[in-house]
Amino acid sequence: MHRFRRARCSSAQADAQGVYQIEPINDAIVTTSSLPNLKYDPFPSELMEVVDGQLRRIEFREIQNRFEYSTTSMVSRSCLLFGSAAKARAFPRPPTLRESQLGTSPVLREFEFNEGSLCDFQHVSRLCVDAKDVRRRNISRTIISAVGLPESSTGTCGRFDGVIVRYRAEWSAYTHSSARGAPTPIAEVRREQSGKGTVAAVIWVDNTGDSAEASAKRFGQDLAELFRQASTTTCVK
């Protein structure tokens, strides 16, 4: 049970201090009637558990928060995990608002769907990689080697029936300093089909701060796992 300030919930009652209680449901997203156009996630003031019918307060030191809101409708979603980032990685990633709209489950934590579903990545045999990292040249070969698809190419992909990867890692900038921040690799993976164009698209981001080689290799391994998951998924045609 979580106690939030500044959150109005249709299924919860406020106490004398105006604090609302939100009770979680296993394997489901709790729907509440939060403040319209809420652009800041609710702040949890207490975490409680029920022991022998009595509420007991749980102490926590870290909170992992995932918050997003829609720019076109009065919808926002806040997902909290009470614990470290390492513990958070042990749990399935909650779906984004876009994934909920698509009806797509986040099978892999590393990839967020903007279009399509895992089924669209079935039977992939061709891969084109356009990759650049400011710290290292020829990073495309590292990615292709990690993915392991025999029919792969690099460079400008153009019209292509298969999977197109656009991988970029640029220096980040600080608003308060002239120093450069560590690059954050970002990859867009699109499934292209002749006559249809883009039928599926996912985004991958690496915030680990690893070297260019390590980040590219991890992305290639994650992409290989995406293809493996797709190949074993039962899809309705």
Residue pLDDT, tens place only, 117-127? 888 999 888 89
Q: What is the identity of the amino acid at 133?
A: D
Distance set, CA 70 to CA 8, 101, 173, 216 (Å):
18, 11, 26, 31
Q: How many residues does the chain have?
A: 237
Domains for the chain: give ranges and CATH numbers.
Answer: 2-90 (no CATH), 118-232 (3.30.360)
Sheet bearing 111-115, strands edge to edge: 111-115, 197-205, 186-193, 162-169, 126-133, 151-154
Inform me whether the pLDDT recorded for 54 exceeds 80.
yes
pTM attached to this predicted model: 0.71
**What pLDDT does residue 10 have?**
39
Q: Which two tokens stand for residue 22?
A: 């939100």
Q: How far is CA 191 from CA 34, 152, 194, 197, in A?
A: 36, 14, 10, 8
* Interval 76-99: pLDDT, tens: 777 777 888 777 777 777 788 888
167, 131 contact by CB (below 8 A): yes
Of 115, 113, 142, 146, whose CA–CA distance to 223 is shortest? 146
pLDDT number for residue 96: 82
Distance from C-alpha of 24 to C-alpha of 4, rounded to nearest angstrom: 13
